[in-house]
């Protein structure tokens, strides 16, 4: 396919070429893969500044999306690649092939650096979904940081850099610039920009930015960071957000309220309890969906309110394909038991969905939220169960509401009234405001020279 870049795509590619360290905050659907690959082609095959590139991405994106993008565009012809996923033997064989671009899933970064026995001789790294390296305590972060000083160029790509607040930024930029802008240590960053928020005596559970911290952080990273929102550069079809409330009966509500108050309840003769507040929140979400796990991972039925609403929504789609997002496995099991649905897991599932061969599909945000192009197969998304993660929420929505979508996108949220579902929706809106402030602060100005 002939690549005719939008102006913003050319701008972003030039930014990567002119900045050895680049944080490119591209909202979903703006084509971050082809933007980056165009720069890689120049660096590897035109200017010869780079010999060997490592692309780190979520598993399905590494396996499916990046190879598909390289094969798709005519101007990338000649850019060789090797996909290092699968068994250890398969990964080693792929890494030993001769290529310009090597693609690996993020779960195998620690293996590559510390266990593979292969030399880490890449002179450029591309981190797709940079936000998945937001934990400075994770093995993948520590492993990549270990070899980062030996790499000449690095690009971080994400549309959700601060989905849980500004604290997320430190680890991401520590990998990019080795601590030049936000400090080499998380404690220094925390002390400089944050104050304790929720605490119990000397134990601090969370931090909040001190006055002026957001602006100072944005100023520190602005020289290596650009951001772009889809609505600024693309004429996307309308996206309609819809809340579908459902109501438990008095008996079902009483079970929920008792559990919320006492952290224990008897459901069909089985005692269900929660050891702490985090477990309580998870079990309340499950109850809102209609079932709950006990300590032995057996699920216990409570109600079918969301399944009934889902049936109405599927019927109301009048034959148009629907994509259903679930969070707990018992949700998927109950959906599959009631409706003829297919789960999106493999490359074949993705192809069949986009070809219109699947009328109803279920998808888990954590396994398929990033990078997958599903816009050709349908335009209706139904959130059966909600997630606290703004990143996974936005990324899953963007599987349908992205460049190439031809129809109005409808996103339904089935929300059980009087439950934690309502709190989750409020939290997602609050997180979104914080992230939008960051995106706006480092927004690209195409009128400026790069």
pLDDT digits (tens, 9 = 90+) for 352-388: 988 889 999 999 998 765 557 788 778 889 999 999 8
319 vs 136, more confident: 136
Domains 7-233+436-441 and 235-247+305-418 share a fold: yes
pLDDT digits (tens, 9 = 90+) for 427-446: 888 887 777 777 777 677 66
Q: How far is CA 268 from CA 272, 291, 299, 378, in A?
A: 10, 12, 11, 39
pLDDT digits (tens, 9 = 90+) for 174-212: 999 999 999 999 999 999 999 988 878 778 888 889 999
Answer whether 450's CB lies under 8 Å from 14's CB: yes
pLDDT digits (tens, 9 = 90+) for 17-32: 999 999 998 866 678 8
Q: What is the pLDDT of residue 371?
A: 56
pLDDT digits (tens, 9 = 90+) for 70-109: 998 999 999 999 999 999 999 999 999 999 999 999 999 9
Question: Strand order of the sheet with strand 21-26?
Answer: 81-84, 101-105, 53-57, 124-128, 153-158, 21-26, 225-228
Q: Tokens in use for 58?
A: 């979520």
Q: What is the pLDDT of residue 394?
A: 85
**DSSP bridge partners of 240:** 410
Architecture per CATH, domain 235-247+305-418, reads as 3-Layer(aba) Sandwich (3.40)
Q: What is the pLDDT of residue 390?
A: 85
Q: What is the pLDDT of residue 177?
A: 97
Assess whether pLDDT exceeds 70 at residue 148: yes
Q: What is the pLDDT of residue 397?
A: 86
The arithmetic mean of pLDDT across residues 395-403, rounded, is 81
Q: What is the pLDDT of residue 269?
A: 65
The residue extents of the domains of the chain are: 7-233+436-441, 235-247+305-418, 249-302
Residue 37 neighbours by CB distance under 10 Å: 26
Q: What is the value of pTM for the model shown? A: 0.65
Architecture per CATH, domain 7-233+436-441, reads as 3-Layer(aba) Sandwich (3.40)
Name the band, by pLDDT with cuts 50, 70 and 90, for residue 263. confident
Name the band, by pLDDT with cuts 50, 70 and 90, for residue 228. confident
Q: What is the pLDDT of residue 449?
A: 42
Answer whether 410's CB lies under 8 Å from 381's CB: yes
Q: What is the pLDDT of residue 383?
A: 95
The CA distance from 70 to 67, in Å, is: 5
Direct distance between the N- and C-terminal alpha carbons of the chain, in angstroms, rounded to an integer? 28
**DSSP bridge partners of 203:** 200
Q: Tokens in use for 326?
A: 């679930």
Residue 4 neighbours by CB distance under 10 Å: 7
């Amino acid at each position: 396919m002939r690549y005719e870049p939008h102006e913003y795509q050319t701008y972003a590619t030039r930014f990567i070429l002119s900045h050895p360290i680049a944080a490119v905050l591209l909202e979903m659907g703006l084509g971050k893969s082809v933007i980056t690959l165009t720069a890689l082609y120049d660096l590897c095959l035109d200017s010869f500044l780079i010999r060997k590139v490592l692309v780190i991405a979520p598993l399905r994106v590494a396996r499916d999306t990046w190879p598909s993008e390289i094969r798709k565009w005519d101007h990338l012809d000649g850019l060789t690649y090797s996909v290092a996923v699968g068994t250890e033997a398969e990964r080693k064989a792929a890494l030993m092939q001769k290529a310009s671009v090597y693609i690996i899933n993020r779960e195998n970064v620690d293996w590559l650096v510390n266990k593979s026995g292969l030399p880490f001789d890449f002179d450029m790294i591309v981190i797709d979904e940079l936000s998945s390296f937001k934990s400075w305590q994770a093995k993948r972060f520590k492993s990549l940081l270990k070899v980062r000083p030996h790499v000449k160029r690095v690009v971080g790509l994400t549309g959700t850099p601060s989905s849980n607040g500004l604290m997320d930024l430190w680890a991401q930029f520590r990998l990019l610039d080795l601590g030049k802008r936000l400090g080499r240590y998380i404690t220094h960053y925390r002390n400089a920009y944050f104050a304790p928020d929720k605490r119990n005596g000397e134990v601090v559970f969370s931090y909040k930015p001190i006055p002026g911290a957001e602006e100072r952080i944005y100023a520190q990273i602005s020289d290596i960071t650009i951001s772009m929102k889809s609505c600024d550069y693309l004429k996307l079809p309308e996206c309609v957000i819809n809340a579908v409330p459902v109501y438990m009966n008095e008996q079902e509500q009483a079970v929920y309220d008792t559990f919320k108050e006492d952290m224990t309840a008897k459901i069909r003769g089985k005692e269900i309890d929660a050891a702490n507040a985090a477990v309580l929140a998870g079990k309340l979400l499950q109850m809102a969906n209609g079932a709950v796990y006990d300590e032995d991972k057996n699920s216990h039925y409570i109600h079918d309110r969301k399944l009934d609403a889902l049936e109405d929504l599927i019927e109301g789609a009048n034959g148009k394909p629907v994509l259903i997002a679930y969070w707990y496995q018992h949700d998927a099991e109950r959906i599959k038991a009631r409706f003829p649905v297919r789960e999106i897991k493999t490359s074949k599932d993705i192809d069949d969905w986009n070809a219109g061969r699947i009328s109803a599909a279920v998808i888990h945000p954590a396994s398929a939220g990033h990078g997958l192009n599903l816009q050709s197969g349908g335009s209706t998304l139904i959130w059966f169960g909600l997630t606290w993660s703004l990143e996974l929420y936005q990324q899953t929505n963007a599987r349908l509401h992205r460049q190439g979508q031809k129809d109005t996108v409808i996103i339904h949220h089935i929300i059980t009234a009087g439950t934690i579902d309502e709190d989750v929706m409020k939290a997602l809106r609050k997180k979104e405001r914080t992230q939008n402030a960051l995106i706006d602060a480092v927004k690209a100005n195409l009128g400026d020279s790069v």
